Amino acid sequence: MKPVEIAKGIYNVGVIDWNIRDFHGYSTHLGTTYNAYLIVDEKVALVDTVKKEFSDHLIHNIARVIDPKKIDLVVSNHTELDHSGGLPRVMHRIGEDKPLYVSKMGKKNHARHFPQQWNYQPVTSGDVLELGKRSLTFLETRMLHWPDSMFSYCKEDGVLFSSDAFGQHYAGQEMFDDVVGDAIMPHAKKYFANILLLYAPLILKLVDQVVAMGLDIKTICPDHGVIWRKDPMKIIDAYVRWSKQEENRNKAIIIYDTMWHSTEEMADAIAAGVAEAGALARPMKLREWDRSDIMTEVLDAAAVVVGSPTLNNGLFPTVADILTYLKGLKPKNKIGAAFGSYGWSGEAPKLIHDALAEMQFNLIDDPLKIQYVPQEDGLEKSVELGRKIGSAILGKG
Ligand code: FEO
């Protein structure tokens, strides 16, 4: 990716990772980018770096704008290695003694990642770094999504360097919201559902804080994906909506796995029942769908129905996986139900039911379990469960 000028003297010098398909368990069907930003003023600043293996590419991009040795300081908005992995190469190239601005927690976290004794300059919210005509104001955003996360804001240009927030795993040469258009929103939604959902209460507080500070945000520069320059409020408003988790659509996601198709037949029958009641249903078989794509559907589903065969007196492994993942991300305001076929012991539906109860889902029925292959009565019970779920979604249950 060639350096792209975002505002006069501010460049994205990051890189495109076209071929990554698994980002620590998150499916990146289109790849991603690691954005890094160069601010050329009386002082030259680099905001964030890239994954270690792209370090040389980053330095090459910087060199297309300015001699990398002219960089006076680096800001590292959080320590995760997709943005800090390039620090050793960058610091070695620009001078190991150059200041490295991090949050206080960032200093501790960087020191736990890198043995180098860099010239750390810890900052807190409200601290201002003068660059010349421009300045950077720091805003700590703890746990969004790391303990050391912070934003850096250039008030003179209205540019917010937002670290991972407002990002998307999207690789393309068209790096602005106005160029990609609404096609970017599903990627932003998936990113939110899988990385930020559990921090939803903190996001709502942060948005209130930013509004109270009266920041005039013209451009949001995240560390992944497109830059929001046409309508930065569009992604901020979406984050507020997604964080509130109040706008569930009239749909049920039926997540299941199956050994001999019996639990699958139940899933399809439940989906038919949901549709009969007038709501939407989408069965998602776990070995065919990536957990991160399922989670995206869960974000605005009114009901989450989970089914598993019983294997070795317990859950099918993929079902245990998705329950662990769901529990961690803390989806709220969901109707829930559990089901599954079994051979002789039949523990799985109850285990799912208990897991959903622990997540405070509104469970509308006892777990539905059917021995071996569902016959006509078993399928009718499954359809009936679907009807109850559909009615509950539509507020008639
Ligand atoms: Fe928290 Fe993109 O790293």
Q: What is the pLDDT of residue 246?
A: 87
Which residues, at least 6 apart from 11, have a Cβ–Cβ distance to it below 8 Å?
3, 4, 5, 37, 38, 40, 65
Could you tell me the pTM of the whole model? Answer: 0.96
Domains of the chain: 4-244 (3.60.15.10), 251-393 (3.40.50.360)
Q: How many residues does the chain have?
A: 397
Instruction: Name which residue sits closest to atom 2 of ligand 1, judged by CA.
Output: 164
Instruction: Name which residue sits closest to atom 1 of ligand 1, judged by CA.
Output: 80
Query: Tens digit of pLDDT for each residue in 20-75?
Result: 999 999 999 999 999 999 999 999 999 999 999 999 999 999 999 999 999 999 99
Q: What is the pLDDT of residue 391?
A: 97
**Is 157 near ligand 1, meaning CB less than 6 Å away?**
no
**Is 223 near ligand 1, meaning CB less than 6 Å away?**
yes
Judge whether 29 counts as a catalytic residue. no
Query: Tens digit of pLDDT for each residue in 153-206?
Result: 999 999 999 999 999 999 998 899 999 999 999 999 999 999 999 999 999 999
d(CA 201, CA 199): 6
d(CA 377, CA 368): 12
Q: What is the pLDDT of residue 397?
A: 64
Q: Name residues of the chain where pLDDT drops below 50.
A: none
